[in-house]
Amino acid sequence: MESQVRGGTRWKRFAVVMVPSVAAAACVGVGLAQGALAASFSVSGQEFKVSADHLHGDGFAQYGGIDSGYTSTDGKTKTVRPVAISSFDTAEITKMCQSVKTEIPS
């Protein structure tokens, strides 16, 4: 006796799983866009947070680059770090807050 293979997609089960997932992702996206949630990023291993009440810009571009800076306060030792660079042709930002926790070399 052969077993019968049942194929096809169970669309009701698929919808029961996907609808709440898509709704939750949409709520997070809207919260970030409206400034209700702060976005957290990590560049070069340093985490920073950015939030704003309103951002409208035209001509947006983002790319990676290299920045050099001093590793100590005596101004003798320099190092290079990868950075994320964002640019706009024109932009309007209101109530922007950016924070980063960093160690200060002694």
pLDDT, one tens digit per residue, over 55-103 is: 888 888 888 888 887 777 777 888 888 877 888 888 888 988 888 777 7
CB contact at 8 A, 63 and 25: no
Only one residue has tokens 């024109």, namely: 90
Q: What is the pLDDT of residues 6-29, one digit of tens each?
A: 777 888 888 888 888 888 888 877
38 pLDDT above the threshold of 70? no
CB contact at 8 A, 51 and 24: no
For residue 53, name the pLDDT band (cuts at 50, 70, 90): confident
Q: Rounded to an integer, what is the distance from CA 49 to the centroid of its chain?
A: 9
What residues contact 66, with CB distance under 8 A and at least 6 apart? 80, 81, 82, 83
For residue 3, the model assigns a pLDDT of 65
Three-state DSSP class for 47? strand
